[in-house]
Amino acid sequence: MNRSAPQVPAPGAGTPQVVVRGEAVLQVEPEIADVWVTVRVRARDRQTALERCRAAQERVSAVAAEAADAVESLETTGASVHLEVRDRRAPGEPVATVSTRLTVARLDAVGDLVVALGRLDDVDVSGPTWRLRPDSPAVERARLEAVTDAVRRARQYAAAFGARVTGLLEVSDAGLGGGGLRVAAPMASMARFESDELQLDLTPPRQEVHGAVEVRFAMSEPDGSLWSA
């Protein structure tokens, strides 16, 4: 499918126009990372399950506090208390869970944070999910480079008809293709770490940013000899 083709009206239909779609793809470093933590506690009664869950969650918060400014935010994304039946012949056991998302602003601290959280009992850790900030300059840069691409395409099409671009008629923000950003999938859940010397070296994948814009230009009269017999 041709995503950007010239549109030349029939003679007398008005000023000749060319409509193009400009696109740009950037490869940039991520700016922040999300680490997902789930505290999951099983006990013989609900009160004990809740108390142990609270204690484990406090240890998660303490690890985040020790990371200081490396952790930008800590947000609870879910909590539940329910009975889990593992054997139909036995009564269910109460299970308490709390899920937390930690947003990490210093990417060099992600590995140490994952290890520290992974050492905690009753805690599952997954991630990191690397991403850009919603107001990242890379997003604006992709849009502007898409405009440059649109101008280049329009000039090429006009020149192919023996004409030139003479003015801007309309600009339509086509948005960011594929959701704007494509990020790597989170790492698998990690077991608890025992070694005090353990270090986890994580390499952030580059992020792909897409920009797209649709632009309508006016152009001079085409060279009619190109299609006349």
Where among 115, 131, 147 does a domain terminate? 131
| Pair (171, 228) in one structural domain | yes
Q: What is the pLDDT of residue 64?
A: 92
pLDDT (mean) for 6-10: 47
Beta strands in the chain (DSSP E): 17-28, 32-42, 71-84, 93-104, 123-131, 165-173, 181-182, 207-219
| Pair (201, 118) in one structural domain | no
Q: What is the pLDDT of residue 7?
A: 53
| Pair (163, 212) in one structural domain | yes
| Pair (39, 92) in one structural domain | yes
| Domain count within the chain | 2
pLDDT in tens, 71-123: 999 999 999 988 877 667 667 788 999 999 999 999 888 988 999 998 999 99
| Pair (138, 229) in one structural domain | yes
Nearest Cα neighbor of 169 from 33, 40, 14 is: 14
| Pair (175, 85) in one structural domain | no
Q: What is the pLDDT of residue 200?
A: 66
Q: What is the pLDDT of residue 50?
A: 92
Q: What is the pLDDT of residue 229?
A: 53
Paired residues of 36 in beta bridges: 101, 126
Residue 69 structural domain: 32-131
| Pair (67, 179) in one structural domain | no
Q: 76 to each of 42, 116, 124, 151, how far by Cα in Å?
A: 20, 19, 15, 47
| Pair (123, 202) in one structural domain | no
Q: How far apart are CA 147 and CA 155, in angstroms?
A: 13
pLDDT (mean) for 134-147: 90
| Pair (219, 208) in one structural domain | yes
Nearest Cα neighbor of 172 from 22, 7, 2 is: 22
Amino acid at residue number 195: S
pLDDT in tens, 55-74: 999 999 999 999 888 999 99
Q: How large a percentage of the chain has pLDDT more than 90?
A: 48
Q: What is the pLDDT of residue 185?
A: 37
Q: What is the pLDDT of residue 172?
A: 86
Where among 131, 155, 175 does a domain terminate? 131
Q: 148 to each of 106, 120, 164, how far by Cα in Å?
A: 33, 51, 16
CATH number at residue 58: 3.30.70.360
| Pair (108, 168) in one structural domain | no
Where among 102, 131, 160 does a domain terminate? 131
pLDDT at 150 over 90: yes
| Pair (153, 206) in one structural domain | yes
121, 186 contact by CB (below 8 A) = no
| Pair (14, 59) in one structural domain | no
CATH number at residue 175: 3.30.110.170
Paired residues of 103 in beta bridges: 34, 73
pLDDT at 181 over 50: no
Q: What is the pLDDT of residue 217?
A: 94
